[in-house]
Structure 1
């Protein structure tokens, strides 16, 4: 089968198209024909071995796939790797049937980015109706869905932060009440101004560095900042514990794999609600580009440039 393999760590240039033997599933696993593979920002970290979990070479990247089982059923699944390929092994415990009315591309937008937005709002930030919500990287895979979900969950005001006029227009189209340029010289002041002079209740942040520090200072008493990525590749300043008490604020971290450690089928709940919202037309997924498998490097370059919108996917069938 054709697959993208990494044999040395580095930038997009280490993604190499090659021929590999078909993966062999264990007795409890499924081998599927991959119709689409999701590209995540975390994949760019894995390629350079700077992600939360260390990688081992050689590897086939890709943690999410949509495809068909031997009986023809469509599924979307999270994997421990191997997604950038024509075939992949999936564990039924992290696979979900794709319902009618939901495309493979939409399903891929939901299984990581959609679930992340859902968990951030429902679990990490515990957003309440009427609260103000800031969504950084609002035109990205998580951001486009978080803007919509925050409104659907009853947010009083959604403030979208994005890097270009086109991205900010998209955020407004998706339901944001106000937009902020991600290059604002003082993010604290910009967020408070966008919230009509009031401090904000919830911030969803995957940028890091200065953006995180200045967003934290924009929180209202009992405000929450949920941190789930480091796109700027800058480490935020250490959080000073006395300041959390002084301003009654909360900083939460979120990594999606930990959802499986919670009691109950939280991921299943998220996927069921997200699938229903998409099928009913209440939630719109944004596909920012579909690249042939051989163009995985271009997909990573586009993602790292932070010039993309929505969900990027690879098509192993061409």
Structure 2
């Protein structure tokens, strides 16, 4: 089968389009013929070695949409089922295998293209908003990196949930219109958001801040976080560590919560099925959607990575397999 592999860490040029063996499945796994896979920022970090795990040759990719071509004896799935999945061993390939606990049927009314855009970002966003952040309608929330995949999803879910004030931040204010069209009330740059949020809230601050950037953004988020407020920390796309002091939280009753979808897939996969069912219903009914920034062919995975790294895109980047 065709796949994109890498034999070393480095820039996008280390990605090689080649032929490899089709994976073999166990009784609790399924084999999926991939139609689309999405590109996530975690793929960039893995390619560079920042999230190194496994051995070479390495196949990147967190999620896939496609059709089951073979199901293990203990699996509840059948050949021909249309699914999304979190494959083991990467998803930049014509065929992928996945534990059945990380495979979810998709409705016939949902296209593979839209289904492929949603697994990582929509399931993650739903958990962040409703379970980790426990956002209330009366809250003022801040969503950093709002033009990216998770940010786009968080804004839509918050708007649909009736959240009173949704503030978004972006690296480039040229993305302001895009983010406002998704449902954000205000859009600020990383340079000015602290002052703007304090001004807008009469110095009380935001109730919940969703931070996937880390670094200096985390410190400045703490400066505009309300008493009893929460920072939900779920990434560090800046590449820097976010730092705060214990004195920033105990006397103000503020808190920082961390979450990783990767950790949850590995250690508590059973938690994902009910969330996947909810977001699949939302996508199938077109209550929410995820704009597709661009679709690349599998052989052009390196170009997809370069676009992600440029940050000059809005929505989700897909690979057509």
Q: TM-score, normalised by structure 1?
A: 0.92
Alignment match, 1:202: 208
Alignment match, 1:59: 58
In 2, Cα distance between equivalents of 1:88 and 1:228: 26
Alignment equivalent of 1:152, drawn from 156, 160, 169: 160
For the residue of structure 2 that corresponds to 1:68, the secondary structure is strand
Alignment equivalent of 2:220, drawn from 211, 214, 218: 214
How big is the shift at 1:262? 8.3
How big is the shift at 1:290? 0.7
Alignment match, 2:114: 106
In 2, Cα distance between equivalents of 1:3 and 1:249: 46
In 2, Cα distance between equivalents of 1:256 and 1:130: 27
Q: Are 1:270 and 2:275 counterparts? A: yes
For the residue of structure 2 that corresponds to 1:308, the secondary structure is coil
Alignment equivalent of 1:86, drawn from 68, 91, 94: 94
Q: Are 1:230 and 2:229 counterparts? A: no
Q: Does structure 1 retain, via aligned residues, the 8 Å contact 2:39–2:304? A: yes
Mapping of residues 158-177 of structure 1, within 5 Å: 158-177=166-185
How big is the shift at 1:283? 0.8
In 2, Cα distance between equivalents of 1:266 and 1:139: 27
Q: Does structure 1 retain, via aligned residues, the 8 Å contact 2:169–2:193? A: no
In 2, Cα distance between equivalents of 1:101 and 1:234: 42
How big is the shift at 1:203? 0.6
In 2, Cα distance between equivalents of 1:306 and 1:264: 31
In 1, Cα distance between equivalents of 2:203 and 2:236: 28
How big is the shift at 1:80? 2.4
Alignment equivalent of 1:282, drawn from 284, 287, 292: 287
In 1, Cα distance between equivalents of 2:40 and 2:181: 24
In 2, Cα distance between equivalents of 1:263 and 1:57: 27
How big is the shift at 1:27? 2.5
Q: Does structure 2 retain, via aligned residues, the 8 Å contact 1:63–1:83? A: yes
Alignment match, 1:310: 315
In 2, Cα distance between equivalents of 1:62 and 1:261: 15
For the residue of structure 2 that corresponds to 1:246, the secondary structure is coil
In 2, Cα distance between equivalents of 1:50 and 1:281: 36
How big is the shift at 1:28? 2.2
How big is the shift at 1:210? 1.0
Which range is displaced more, 40-49 or 160-169? 160-169
How big is the shift at 1:205? 0.8
In 1, Cα distance between equivalents of 2:150 and 2:210: 10
How big is the shift at 1:121? 0.9
Alignment equivalent of 2:133, drawn from 122, 125, 128: 125
How big is the shift at 1:87? 0.9
Alignment match, 1:190: 196
For the residue of structure 1 that corresponds to 2:118, the secondary structure is helix
* CA distance 1:307–1:196, shift in 2 (3 Å): farther
In 2, Cα distance between equivalents of 1:166 and 1:74: 37
Q: Are 1:30 and 2:30 counterparts? A: yes
How big is the shift at 1:260? 5.1
**1:235-256 CA deviation, whole Å, 9 max, x = no partner?**
122x211220122111111101
Alignment match, 2:74: none
In 2, Cα distance between equivalents of 1:246 and 1:127: 22
Unaligned runs of 5+ in 2: 70-78
In 2, Cα distance between equivalents of 1:171 and 1:59: 35
